[in-house]
Amino acid sequence: AEAAAESGEAFYYDTEDASNFYMELWGGDHLHVGIYDDSSSASPETVAVASDKALTTLLDMCAPAFKDKPSGGKAMDMGAAYGGAARALAKKYSSQVVCIELSKKENEINVQRNAEQGLQDQVTVPGELSFDATQQDAATFDCVISEDSILHAGKGRADVVKEAARVLRKGGLFVFSDLMQQDGVDVTQLAAVYARIGLEDMGSPASYIQWAAAAGMRVKCYIDHSEQIGRHYGTLKAMLEDDKIRARLKGKVSDKYVEAMKVGLEAWIQGSAAGNLAWGFFVFEKI
C-alpha cells in the first residue's frame, strides 16, 4: 500500500501542472503547511513567510540532537522535496544531511539548488528512495526530520517511523510535522479529504506515539497547531480565486488543474472547520 501511495505522490508532484503550481504559489522551496498570523493576506509571499515560520519551529526543536557535536552531526530529511528544510538544517547546525525523496523532478531541483548555494558536499541526494527503505546504515544519524510527508505513506506510516528509529543513534531525535486526522474522529466525515490525497486514512497523534513506542522511541513533546490547517488551505484557495494570480498561472497551470485544486482545498478547509483534522510537531527520542 505504501509503495502505491508513494508512487502516486511522486507522479502527482512530478506532473507539469503540479510542479508549476507549487513553484508559483507555495514559495518554491517548501511543500508543507505554514504558521500564519491573523492578519495574513492571500499571496505567495505570505505562504513563503508562513512556511519559513513552520520550518524554523521544526529546526529549533532539533537543537538537542546536535548538542556537543563539533563536526555538526548527521541528519536525514524524509520526504525532502526541493530540499528547503535540508539546506536550512545544514546551515543552522553545520550538519551533513541526506535527502530521501521518491520524486525524480524534486530530487533534480534539490541537487541544482544545493550546487547553487555551495552545499553540494553537505546536502546529498542519493537518488529516488522510499522513506521506509532509505538504504542508510543503522544507528548513524543524530536527527531525522520530515515535513508533512509521512501522510503519503498510507498504510506504511508505521514502517516509516520504524525506519527513522533504525537509522537513529541512541539518544537521536525524530522531529517531524504531519497532517493527520484527530483521534477518535468519525472517518466517514473525511471522505472528501481521503479522495483528495488518494488514501484510505490518515495517521493521528495517538497512532504516531504508539508506532514510535513500538519502534523503540519515546515521545518528548507534541505541539498542536491544528488551527493552521484551515488558514493555510484557505490562503491557497483565496489565491486561486484572485484574478491577478490566475493570470500569473496562465500558460503554466491548466484551468482544469486549478478547478480540481480548489475542490481539494475546500475539502481540507471544511475538514478543519469541523474539527476533524490535526497538524502539529512531534519530537521522539531513540531509546
pTM attached to this predicted model: 0.91
Compute the residue count for the chain. Answer: 287
Average pLDDT of the segment spanning 72-90: 96
**pLDDT tens-digit readout, 36-60:** 998 778 888 899 899 999 999 999 9
For the residues 64-76, what does the mean pLDDT come to? 93
Ranges 26-30, 36-40, 124-128, 199-203: which has the least confidence = 26-30
Question: Sign of the CA dihedral 256, 102, 66, 114?
Answer: negative
**pLDDT tens readout for residues 82-109:** 999 999 999 999 999 999 999 998 899 9
Give per-residue pLDDT as tens, 227-263.
999 999 999 999 999 999 989 899 999 999 999 999 9
Percent of the chain past pLDDT 70, that is, above it, reads 93
Per-residue pLDDT, averaged over 180-208, amounts to 94
**What's the grid cell of residue 222?**
507534541
